[in-house]
A and B are shown apart, each in its own frame.
Chain A
Amino acid sequence: MTVRIRRHWGLIALAAILLLAGAIVDGRSALAAYLVTWVALSAIPIGALGVLMVSYVVRRDWTEALHPVLAAAAATISVAGILFIPILILIAHIYPAASDPASLPAFKAIYLTPWFFAARAVAYFIIWTVLGWWLRAAWPDRERMMRAASAGLIVYALTVSLAGVDWLESLEPDFHSSIYGLLYLCFAMLDGVAFAIAAGLFLRRPLSGINGYSALLLSTILLWGYLHGMQYIVIWSGNIPAEVVWYIKRSANGWQFVLAVLAFGQFVFPFFALLNSRVRRDRRWLLGLCALTLIMRGIEAAVLILPAIPGVAMLPTVLMLAPALVLVGCLMLAAFEIARARDGRLFSFAIVGRRGTVPRSTR
Chain B
Amino acid sequence: MADRPFGLLAEFDSPEALLAAARKAREAGYRALDAFTPFPVEGLARILRLPRPNISWVGLLGGFAGGTFALLMQCYTNYAFPLNVGGRPLYALSAFAVVMFELTVLFSALSMIVAMLWQNGLPRLNFPAFATKRFHLASKDRFFLCIEGRDAAFDEHATASFLNELGALSVELMPP
Q: What residues make up the interface of A, taking CB atoms closer than 8 Å to B?
A: 229, 232-233, 236-237, 239, 275, 277
Contact = CB atoms under 8 A, between A and B. Distances in A.
A229 B93 CA distance: 12
15 contacts: A229-B97, A232-B94, A233-B94, A233-B95, A233-B97, A233-B98, A236-B94, A236-B95, A237-B94, A237-B95, A239-B86, A239-B88, A275-B56, A275-B60, A277-B56
Nearest to A230: B98
Interface in B69-94: 86, 88, 94
Contacts of A275: 56, 60
A232 B97 CA distance: 11
Contacts of B94: 232-233, 236-237
A275 B59 CA distance: 11
Nearest to B98: A233
Contacts of A236: 94-95
Main SS at interface, chain B: helix
The 10 closest A-B pairs by CB, nearest first: A236-B94, A239-B86, A233-B94, A233-B98, A233-B97, A275-B60, A232-B94, A237-B95, A229-B97, A277-B56
Nearest to A239: B86
A275 B88 CA distance: 35
A333 B97 CA distance: 41
Contacts of A277: 56
B60 to A, nearest CB: 7
Nearest to B93: A236
Given A237-B94, A275-B60, 13 more contacts: A229-B97, A232-B94, A233-B94, A233-B95, A233-B97, A233-B98, A236-B94, A236-B95, A237-B95, A239-B86, A239-B88, A275-B56, A277-B56
A66 to B, nearest CB: 24
B100 to A, nearest CB: 11
Nearest to B63: A275
A227 B167 CA distance: 59
Contacts of B56: 275, 277
Contacts of A229: 97
Contacts of A233: 94-95, 97-98
A239 B94 CA distance: 12
B125 to A, nearest CB: 34
B98 to A, nearest CB: 6
A237 B92 CA distance: 11
Nearest to B92: A236
A224 B95 CA distance: 19
B51 to A, nearest CB: 15
Interface in B47-62: 56, 60
Contacts of B88: 239
A242 to B, nearest CB: 16
B119 to A, nearest CB: 18
A172 to B, nearest CB: 21
Interface string B85-117: 010100000110110000000000000000000
Contacts of B86: 239
B46 to A, nearest CB: 15
A229 B96 CA distance: 12
A183 to B, nearest CB: 18
Contacts of A239: 86, 88
Contacts of A232: 94
Contacts of B98: 233
A68 to B, nearest CB: 28
A65 B141 CA distance: 33
Nearest to A237: B95
A258 B84 CA distance: 32
B40 to A, nearest CB: 16
A233 B98 CA distance: 8
B162 to A, nearest CB: 36
A233 B97 CA distance: 9
B169 to A, nearest CB: 35
- A232, A237, A277: residue with the most chain B Cβ atoms closer than 10 Å: A237
A203 B69 CA distance: 47
Interface in B112-158: none
A202 to B, nearest CB: 28
A240 to B, nearest CB: 11
Nearest to A229: B97
A232 B95 CA distance: 10
Nearest to B94: A236
Nearest to B52: A277
B35 to A, nearest CB: 23
A285 to B, nearest CB: 17
A71 to B, nearest CB: 32
A237 B86 CA distance: 10
A114 B56 CA distance: 54
